[in-house]
C-alpha cells in the first residue's frame, strides 16, 4: 500500500505546456505515472508528449473527460492560488502544488477554502510525492528510491533526495515519500502524514526531515509520543543557522525564541525519535 498516490491515481497537470510543466510531465510519464491530461487555457484540443496526453482549457473539462482525481500544479506563483481554487471546484480530491513564492495571505484563503471542501493539498513550494514503482507526482527524481517499508515526510526538497538515495544505497526501500514544503502555511503537515503512515500496513518505519522555524516539529513530536508506535528517525536542517536569518524557505526563520534546531531536536528525542547529526546517518538509525 501507499499514502496519497499509487498506480491507480489519475493525474492531470495544470500549466503542463510551460517549460517546467512539459519537462516534468515527461519524467512522470516515463516513470509510469497515470498522467491522463494537461490543462492550459487557450490550448484545449492539443496533444503533447508524442500525442500521449490531451490538453484541455480547464480542469473541469479535463476531469469530466478523464475522471481525474489528482492534479499537479506547475503554474507560476502569481496564478497558482487561482489554479488551486479551480482544481478544488472541479472535484479534484488531491492537489500537489510545486510553485513557490505564493503570498501568505493568498495561502490563508486557499487553506480555508480547501478545509471547507475537504480537499487535500500537498505544498505549495514542495517537491511533491513519490510512491516508488507506482507513481511520481512532482519533481522528485524517480531513480533515487526503491519500493519498501519506510515512510518519508520532509519540509526540505533537496534533503529529501539525499535521504532517499542514502536509504537506497543501503537497500532500504520507501512506501511513500511526501514533500510537504517549507512555507509558513501549507496544505499537509507532519501530523497528517504521521497519522497516515501509522495506519498504513506496508509502512514499518518512518523518517521525518524538519528544519528551523515554526513549531511544526515540536507538534509532530507530541503526536509521535501519543499516537505513533512505529520506529521514527529524523533530521533537523539549519542547526548552525544564525537567529533572525531566513534560510532558504519562507518558514525557515528563527525569531522570538522559537523555532531553534536545538529545541526541535530535544522535543523529537524526548518522543523517542532517533535524530541524526547528518542525513546519511538515517539508514543506520533505522
Residue 53 maps to which CATH number? 3.40.50.720
Q: Which domain holds residue 110?
A: 11-122
What is the domain-level CATH number for residue 151?
3.40.50.261
Instruction: Name the 3-class secondary structure at 130.
Output: strand
Whether 132 is covered by a domain: the verdict is: no
The average pLDDT across 152-181 equals: 96
**How confident is the model at residue 241, as a pLDDT?**
66
Q: pTM for the full model? A: 0.94
Count: domains in the chain = 2
Q: CB 149: neighbour CB atoms within 10 A?
A: 16
The average pLDDT across 16-35 equals: 98
Q: What is the pLDDT of residues 39-88, one digit of tens each?
A: 999 999 999 999 999 999 999 999 999 999 999 999 999 999 999 999 99
Residues 89 and 148 grouped into a single domain? no
| pLDDT over 60 at 94, yes or no | yes
Whether 135 is covered by a domain: the verdict is: no
Residues 111 and 220 grouped into a single domain? no
Nearest-angstrom CA–CA distance, 143 and 132? 9
CA distances from 14 to 56, 60, 230, 281 (A): 10, 12, 36, 37
Whether 127 is covered by a domain: the verdict is: no
**How confident is the model at residue 239, as a pLDDT?**
76
Residues 189 and 280 grouped into a single domain? yes
Residues 114 and 232 grouped into a single domain? no
Close Cβ partners of 270 (under 8 Å, ≥ 6 residues apart):
221, 225
Nearest-angstrom CA–CA distance, 199 and 228? 9
Mean of per-residue pLDDT scores for the chain: 94
The average pLDDT across 13-22 equals: 97
Nearest-angstrom CA–CA distance, 275 and 272? 9
Whether 3 is covered by a domain: the verdict is: no
Instruction: Just list the catalytic residues.
Output: 249
**How confident is the model at residue 244, as a pLDDT?**
61
| pLDDT over 90 at 167, yes or no | yes
Could you say which of 122, 156, 173 is where a domain stops? 122
**How confident is the model at residue 16, as a pLDDT?**
97
**124 closest CA partner among 169, 163, 87, 171:** 87
Could you say which of 92, 122, 152 is where a domain stops? 122
Residues 201 and 155 grouped into a single domain? yes
* Percentage of residues in the chain having pLDDT higher than 90: 89
Residues 210 and 256 grouped into a single domain? yes
Q: What is the pLDDT of residues 215-251, one digit of tens each?
A: 999 999 999 999 999 999 999 998 776 666 555 555 5
Where residue 115 falls among pLDDT bands split at 50, 70, 90?
very high
Could you say which of 122, 149, 182 is where a domain stops? 122
Amino acid at each position: 500500500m501507499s499514502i496519497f498516490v499509487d498506480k491507480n491515481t489519475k493525474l492531470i497537470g495544470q500549466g503542463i505546456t510551460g517549460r517546467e510543466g512539459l519537462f516534468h510531465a515527461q519524467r512522470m510519464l516515463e516513470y509510469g505515472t497515470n498522467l491522463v491530461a494537461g490543462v492550459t487555457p487557450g490550448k484545449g484540443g492539443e496533444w503533447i508528449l508524442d500525442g500521449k496526453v490531451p490538453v484541455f482549457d480547464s480542469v473541469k473539462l479535463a476531469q469530466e473527460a478523464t475522471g481525474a482525481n489528482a492534479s499537479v500544479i506547475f503554474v507560476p506563483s502569481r496564478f497558482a492560488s487561482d489554479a488551486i481554487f479551480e482544481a478544488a471546484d472541479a472535484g479534484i480530491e488531491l492537489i500537489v502544488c510545486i510553485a513557490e513564492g505564493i503570498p501568505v495571505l493568498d495561502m490563508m484563503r486557499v487553506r480555508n477554502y480547501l478545509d471547507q471542501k475537504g480537499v487535500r493539498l500537498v505544498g505549495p513550494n514542495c517537491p511533491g510525492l513519490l510512491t516508488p514503482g507506482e507513481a511520481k507526482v512532482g519533481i522528485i527524481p524517480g531513480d533515487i528510491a526503491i519500493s519498501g517499508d519506510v515512510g518519508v515526510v520532509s519540509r526540505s526538497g533537496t534533503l529529501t533526495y539525499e535521504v532517499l538515495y542514502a536509504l537506497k544505497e543501503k537497500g532500504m526501500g520507501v512506501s511513500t515519500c511526501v514533500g510537504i514544503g517549507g512555507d509558513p502555511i501549507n496544505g499537509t503537515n507532519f501530523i497528517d502524514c504521521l497519522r497516515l503512515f501509522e495506519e498504513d500496513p506496508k509502512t514499518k518505519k518512518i523518517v521525518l526531515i524538519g528544519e528551523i522555524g515554526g513549531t511544526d516539529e515540536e507538534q509532530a513530536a507530541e503526536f509521535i509520543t501519543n499516537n505513533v508506535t512505529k520506529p521514527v528517525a529524523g533530521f533537523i536542517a539549519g542547526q548552525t543557522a544564525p537567529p533572525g536569518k531566513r534560510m532558504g524557505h519562507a518558514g525557515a526563520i528563527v525569531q522570538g525564541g522559537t523555532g531553534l534546531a536545538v529545541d526541535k531536536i530535544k522535543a523529537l528525542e524526548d518522543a523517542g525519535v532517533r535524530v541524526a547529526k547528518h542525513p546519511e546517518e538515517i539508514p543506520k538509525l533505522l
